[in-house]
Structure 1
């Protein structure tokens, strides 16, 4: 099978900036559509890479962050998330966001997946990570963040992603990645091939013996 993508049938003729702030730019593009007709396309360009962290402790609990999302006017439970500028290493930025929102410092990191969050209208991309070997500390959230931190057993967090109690796209994708890795490893939830959590499970079994 030829996996190479076909050439784009979209053609851009002009681009103008209709809105801009330090985090995003909105472009208005004059285009020719795939059907050959003239059209317009609105594009949201994001300055930063989004990052999200599934932080799992030695008891197989996930750190979830609760906050009111202004855009939705709804309260949302999510994994710790933030933005990383182009000149910052994504993992370093994820570690910074985890520490700021929860106070946690992780000894082990693994990148799970990269995703595009809304590719019909924006170029926003995200890098999602697993963090284990956690050490607690003081949090220092931004002034725009009124956060609550809640520890949830991994299986319960996964259920929240599956049944719609968690609707944040990065959180759903990241939790499903970890859940899929456990399923592929034949895990019953007490261990996984993903580094860090397997050792934590072994430590729990040792304490129980």
Structure 2
């Protein structure tokens, strides 16, 4: 009997089947935990996913709206993006916040670390709370067509609970901050 934390999968062979500057896809021939042969595909991310929940002194936050190609739909999200592996996630968070909203923050707190789609990918996400906000000029990337809206945090929370916001990073950030507010940890 395997200990629950030991890897029950045996890799027979592996083949890289796709690679670009953001992701790589490897197909593995495996012996699965029940002892049978099978395949497994793994998406390797070349960036750490970064989320930033900006919160001003009046308890307003900022959401970024954009059309998401993989979903074929519009999405409201906190400012988010990626930071190259091996670089400072906090520096990446500062860059993303400025690029997408034009905001700089005087105070940064790590809110949450989580793995996204861990059944098929190794993508790690780090979410930060940004406070003491000052407005500068936004610098969006050429692939981004963004709409920024400043709303009360409670409205963002309602958007999560009514299903208007479905982005996993945003949902986790807003629910985590809501718990912190309820437990007087802010």
TM-score range, shorter chain: over 0.9
Report what 1:60 is aligned to.
Answer: 59
Supply the distance in 1 between the matched residues of 2:86 and 2:170 (Cα, whole angstroms): 24
Report what 2:46 is aligned to.
Answer: 47
Supply the distance in 1 between the matched residues of 2:179 and 2:11 (Cα, whole angstroms): 39
Query: Pairwise mapping of residues 91-130 of structure 1 onto structure 2 (< 5 A)?
Result: 91-130=90-129
Give the secondary-structure state (helix, strand or coil) at the position aligned to 2:137.
coil
1:120-172 Cα deviation digits (max 9, x unpaired): 01111100000000000100100100001001101110111122100000000
Task: Report the structure number with the largest CA radius of gyration.
Answer: 1
Deviation at 1:87, TM superposition (A): 2.7
Supply the distance in 1 between the matched residues of 2:89 and 2:5 (Cα, whole angstroms): 30
Give the secondary-structure state (helix, strand or coil) at the position aligned to 2:6.
coil
Moved over 3 A (4+): none
Report what 2:172 is aligned to.
Answer: 173
Query: Pairwise mapping of residues 27-46 of structure 1 onto structure 2 (< 5 A)?
Result: 27-46=26-45
Deviation at 1:5, TM superposition (A): 4.4
Give the secondary-structure state (helix, strand or coil) at the position aligned to 1:19.
strand
Determine which structure has the larger helix proportion and give its number: 1
Report what 1:162 is aligned to.
Answer: 161
Determine which structure has the larger strand proportion and give its number: 2
Normalised by the length of structure 1, the TM-score is 0.86
Normalised by the length of structure 2, the TM-score is 0.96
Q: How many residue pairs were aligned?
A: 184
Supply the distance in 1 between the matched residues of 2:143 and 2:180 (Cα, whole angstroms): 34
Supply the distance in 2 between the matched residues of 1:6 and 1:143 (Cα, whole angstroms): 43
Report what 1:10 is aligned to.
Answer: 9
Give the secondary-structure state (helix, strand or coil) at the position aligned to 1:173.
helix
Give the secondary-structure state (helix, strand or coil) at the position aligned to 2:33.
coil
Structure 1 residue runs of 5 or longer lacking an equivalent are 186-192, 195-209
Supply the distance in 2 between the matched residues of 1:180 and 1:44 (Cα, whole angstroms): 32
Structure 2 residue runs of 5 or longer lacking an equivalent are none
Supply the distance in 2 between the matched residues of 1:64 and 1:58 (Cα, whole angstroms): 16
